């Protein structure tokens, strides 16, 4: 861009030098120039140049009307209004020539031209006294109609009163009137002030538009100096050549550059949006206010399990996310209230029947010529799992504190009572109470077991890690699993894959496996199968205990691992809580999946 600016700066200097050379040589060759044309030909050239400048004025106005709603530029709006008025005044000036429709006297016609020049020079100076900024004029149509009416009314009023104004045309061709001279000096001063302002601003913000505007101001100033320094019959011709050239560079600087910059910036913004949209890790979708999908990003496809072709041109209702219509309801709220929503929690189900939780945000955006909703779904399923895990760990911590403070105090009297009950059993005179004593001892042992579990969880000791292979631990446990558990016709099978050695506390992993297998046996009907499986996927070693028992209800699944939560009549609800605690110490993940045909506990170890 800087090299392009430098090139245009050099071209600008060359253009100005040529314009100055023509200006300096003008007095020497003006009479020669006039001799080539008759007075009628000069008048025709004058009229053509006037119409050309009028055409540029109205082109500036029309382009401004088109571009302003897009850019909201103060320069665009002010230039459109200014050159509309200049075009009207120049139009009355041209149509007042001899033989034209209005056919005023030459002095009256010149006043229209003079007013156009004063308005144009003053307006441009005022416009550039302040930097460009966005202005929002609403409603635009009534404002435009009002300005047009004002312009026409002023022009017609001026047309009716122009004959009463002072004389501006000289009595002698080489002797300008005082009024005319003052007007030329004022306009030249305004041009000079404008040039100083635009050059000053260009130094701090170089742009192609700035170069074109400087060129336009310099050409207009040179044209004005022709009237100040020289005075002959060819002045209008040369002046109008500079005027048309100046207007052209104004048009090029304010409009052509603005249009190009606007569409370049828009294209760049669209490219950035497309990149951000499709690479965003959050689920994003663009939906019309009628509820039709226009586009979705890659994350949306991955999280829902649907392809882009399945979603595009579908509606919120037809593309079933299993959200119970909550997305459609919120979209209708956006359409009704024309407001944004932020982080409203919703639930949806993927094609793989996985239930997920997300925060939904939505904004109304302009997408092409339509209003659309940009929907963002931020998956917080894992966050919710972590929150539940944190609450579970808090409960475990509370239990640990309780166990640490009361465990030993309860255990000591229980030991004393058990000892006396054993002595009571040995007494010959209490033979009838032996069975009752046995039941009491059994219940005391049960209470002692609960306290032991309490103390196990309360221990905050460090695990003793060493490199070990889970397959070897499982192989060592198989005899114990076969003899110590009442399998009641259930089959325990192993599927041991090739896995790496990982840091483990062998004793704790043995306890986890025993607890999971024991639970699996209790959950499986007679003739069922319990499978112990190991595998290695990418950077994870996976230990799986799977059974073909009944499906675990969702409300129970969410509570697994909570201390004292159990669905068994005689269970204590501590086994899985201990498993979760051990898995957490190994920085692993315990994932439970339950379907109509099987329930699977996966422990995933990173290595």
Q: What is the pLDDT of residue 263?
A: 78
Any idea which of 231-240, 485-494, 508-517 has the lowest mean pLDDT?
231-240
Q: Which of 524, 506, 498 is nearest to 582 (CA)?
A: 506
**Fold matches, 280-379 and 466-606:** no
Q: What is the pLDDT of residue 103?
A: 59
Backbone angles phi, psi at 575, to 5 degrees: -60, -55
Q: What is the pLDDT of residue 453?
A: 63
Q: What is the pLDDT of residue 582?
A: 87
The pTM (predicted TM-score) of the whole model is 0.51
Query: What value does the mean pLDDT take over residues 422-445?
Result: 70
List Cβ neighbours of 418 (8 Å cut-off, separation of 6 or more): 441, 444, 445, 448
Distances (CA, A) of 392 to 356, 403, 405, 564: 20, 16, 20, 12
Q: What is the pLDDT of residue 184?
A: 82
Any idea which of 284-293, 392-401, 502-511 has the lowest mean pLDDT?
392-401
Top-level class of domain 384-458: mainly alpha
Decide if pLDDT at 469 tops 90: yes
Decide if pLDDT at 548 tops 70: yes
Tokens 């202005």 correspond to: 135
Query: What value does the mean pLDDT take over residues 100-118?
Result: 74
Computed over every residue of the chain, the mean pLDDT equals 79
Q: What is the pLDDT of residue 406?
A: 66
Topology annotation, domain 466-606: Heat Shock Protein 90 (3.30.565)
Query: What value does the mean pLDDT take over residues 584-606?
Result: 90
Q: Tell me: the pLDDT tens digits for 237-274?
A: 788 888 888 888 888 887 776 777 777 777 888 888 88
- The span from the CA of 193 to the CA of 204, in Å, is 18
**Beta partners for 344?**
360
Decide if pLDDT at 514 tops 70: yes
Distances (CA, A) of 353 to 188, 299, 338: 79, 17, 33
What is the per-residue DSSP string for 33-80?
Answer: HHHTS-HHHHHHHHHHHHHHHHHHHHHHHHHHHHHHHHH-BHHHHHHH
Higher pLDDT, 569 or 371: 371
Q: What is the pLDDT of residue 30?
A: 63
Question: Does the N-terminal peptide bond of residue 139 adopt cis geometry, omega within 30 degrees of 0?
Answer: yes
The pLDDT-based confidence of 572 (bands split at 50, 70, 90) is: low
Long-range contacts of 316-322 (CB under 8 A, 24+ apart): 316/287, 316/291, 317/291, 319/293, 321/348, 321/349, 322/348, 322/349, 322/355
Decide if pLDDT at 228 tops 80: no
The enclosing H or E element of 554 equals helix 554-557
Backbone angles phi, psi at 361, to 5 degrees: -125, 150
Q: What is the pLDDT of residue 278?
A: 86
- The span from the CA of 575 to the CA of 521, in Å, is 14
| H helix runs in 72-173, sequence order | 74-95, 106-128, 140-161
User: To the nearest 10°, the Cα dihedral for 297, 302, 308, 314?
Assistant: -90
List Cβ neighbours of 36 (8 Å cut-off, separation of 6 or more): none
Could you tell me the two tokens for 414? 């229980």
Q: What is the pLDDT of residue 497?
A: 93
Q: What is the pLDDT of residue 203?
A: 85
Q: What is the pLDDT of residue 573?
A: 67
User: To the nearest 10°, the Cα dihedral for 563, 569, 571, 573?
Assistant: -10
Q: Which of 268, 269, 252, 212 is nearest to 5 (CA)?
A: 212
Higher pLDDT, 364 or 534: 534
The enclosing H or E element of 190 equals helix 178-204
Query: What value does the mean pLDDT take over residues 553-579?
Result: 73
Q: Tell me: the pLDDT tens digits for 8-65?
A: 778 888 888 888 887 777 666 666 666 666 767 777 888 888 889 899 889 888 888 8
SS (H, E, C) 375-404: EEEEECHHHHHHHHHHHHHHHHHHHHHHHH
Decide if pLDDT at 324 tops 60: no
Decide if pLDDT at 603 tops 90: yes
Dihedral sign for Cα 173, 176, 179, 185, please: positive
Q: What is the pLDDT of residue 178?
A: 74
Q: Tell me: the pLDDT tens digits for 138-162?
A: 777 787 788 778 877 877 776 677 6
CB 457 within 8 A of CB 563: yes
Counting residues of the chain whose pLDDT is more than 70, the rounded percentage is: 77
Decide if pLDDT at 321 tops 70: no
Q: Which of 273, 238, 262, 267 is nearest to 134 (CA)?
A: 262
Instruction: Write down the domain spans for the chain.
Output: 2-24+61-271, 280-379, 384-458, 466-606
**By CB neighbour count within 10 A (0-12 exposed, 13-18 middle, 19+ buried), where does 576 fall?**
buried
DSSP state of 573: S
Q: Tell me: the pLDDT tens digits for 118-145?
A: 899 999 999 888 888 878 777 777 877 8
Q: What is the pLDDT of residue 349?
A: 75
The pLDDT-based confidence of 520 (bands split at 50, 70, 90) is: confident
Q: Tell me: the pLDDT tens digits for 360-409?
A: 888 888 777 677 888 888 888 888 877 777 776 677 667 666 666 666 56
- The span from the CA of 194 to the CA of 202, in Å, is 12
Decide if pLDDT at 67 tops 70: yes
DSSP state of 265: H
Q: Which of 508, 503, 546 is nearest to 524 (CA)?
A: 546
What does the angle CA 340 – CA 344 – CA 346 come to, to the nearest 5 degrees? 130
- The span from the CA of 95 to the CA of 109, in Å, is 8
Please say whether the structural domain 280-379 has been given the CATH code 3.30.450.20. Answer: yes
CB burial of 47-80 (b: ≥16 within 10 Å; e: otherwise) equals bebbebbbebbbbbbebbbebbeebebbbbbbbb
Higher pLDDT, 14 or 291: 14
Tokens 């025709």 correspond to: 44
Q: Tell me: the pLDDT tens digits for 174-211?
A: 556 777 778 888 888 999 999 999 889 888 888 888 88
CB 240 within 8 A of CB 50: yes
Distances (CA, A) of 152 to 94, 117, 139, 149: 16, 17, 21, 5
Q: If DSSP codes are grouped into helix, strand and coil, which group holds residue 228? A: helix
Q: What is the pLDDT of residue 564?
A: 67
């Amino acid at each position: 861009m800087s090299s392009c600016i430098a090139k245009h700066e050099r071209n600008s200097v060359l253009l100005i030098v040529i314009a100055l050379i023509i200006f300096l040589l003008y007095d020497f060759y003006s009479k020669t120039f006039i001799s080539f044309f008759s007075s009628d030909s000069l008048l025709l050239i004058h009229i053509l140049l006037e119409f050309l400048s009028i055409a540029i004025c109205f082109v500036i106005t029309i382009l401004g009307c088109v571009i302003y709603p897009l850019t909201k530029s103060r320069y665009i709006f002010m230039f459109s209004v200014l050159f509309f008025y200049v075009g009207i005044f120049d139009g009355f000036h041209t149509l007042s020539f001899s033989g034209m429709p209005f056919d005023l006297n030459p002095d009256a016609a010149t006043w229209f031209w003079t007013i156009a020049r004063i308005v144009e020079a003053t307006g441009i100076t005022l416009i550039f006294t302040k930097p460009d900024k966005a202005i929002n004029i609403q409603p635009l149509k009534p404002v435009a109609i009002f300005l047009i009416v004002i312009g026409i009314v002023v022009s017609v009023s001026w047309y009716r009163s122009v004959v009463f104004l002072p004389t501006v045309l000289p009595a002698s061709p080489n002797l300008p009137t005082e009024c005319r001279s003052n007007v030329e000096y004022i306009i030249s001063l305004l041009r000079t002030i404008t040039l100083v302002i635009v050059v000053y601003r260009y130094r701090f913000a170089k742009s192609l538009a700035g170069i074109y505007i400087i060129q336009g101001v310099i050409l207009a100033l040179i044209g004005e100096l022709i009237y100040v320094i020289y005075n002959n019959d060819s002045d209008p011709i040369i002046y109008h050549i500079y005027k048309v050239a100046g207007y052209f560079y104004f048009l090029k600087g304010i409009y052509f550059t603005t249009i190009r910059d606007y569409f370049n910036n828009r294209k760049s913004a669209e490219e950035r949006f497309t990149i951000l949209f499709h690479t965003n890790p959050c689920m994003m979708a663009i939906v019309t206010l009628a509820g039709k999908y226009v586009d979705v990003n890659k994350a949306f496809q991955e999280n829902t399990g649907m392809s882009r072709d399945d979603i595009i041109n579908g509606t919120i209702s037809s593309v079933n996310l299993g959200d119970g219509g909550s997305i459609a309801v919120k979209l209708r709220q956006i359409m009704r209230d024309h407001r944004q929503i932020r982080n409203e929690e919703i639930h949806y189900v993927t094609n793989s029947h996985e239930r997920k939780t997300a925060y939904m945000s939505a904004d109304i955006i302009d997408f092409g010529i339509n209003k659309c909703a940009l929907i963002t779904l931020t998956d917080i399923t894992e966050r919710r799992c972590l929150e539940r895990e944190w609450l579970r760990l808090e409960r475990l911590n509370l239990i640990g504190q309780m166990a640490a403070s009361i465990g030993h105090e309860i255990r000591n009297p229980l030991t004393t009572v058990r000892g006396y009950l054993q002595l009571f059993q040995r007494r010959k005179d209490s033979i009838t109470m032996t069975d009752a004593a046995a039941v009491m001892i059994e219940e005391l042992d049960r209470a002692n077991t609960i306290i032991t579990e309490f103390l196990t969880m309360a221990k905050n000791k460090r695990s003793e890690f060493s490199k070990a292979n889970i397959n070897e631990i499982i192989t060592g446990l198989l005899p114990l699993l076969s003899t110590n558990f009442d399998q009641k016709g259930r089959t325990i099978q192993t599927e041991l894959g090739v896995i790496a050695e990982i840091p483990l506390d062998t004793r704790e992993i043995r306890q986890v496996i025993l607890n999971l297998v024991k639970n699996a046996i209790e959950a499986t009907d007679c003739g069922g199968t319990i499978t112990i499986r190991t595998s290695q996927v990418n950077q994870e070693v996976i230990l799986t205990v799977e059974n073909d028992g009944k499906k675990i209800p969702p409300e129970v699944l969410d509570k697994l691992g909570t201390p004292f939560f159990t669905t068994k009549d005689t269970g204590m609800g501590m086994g899985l809580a201990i498993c979760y605690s051990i898995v957490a110490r190994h920085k692993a993940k315990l994932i439970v999946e339950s379907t109509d045909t099987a329930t699977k506990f996966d422990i995933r170890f990173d290595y």
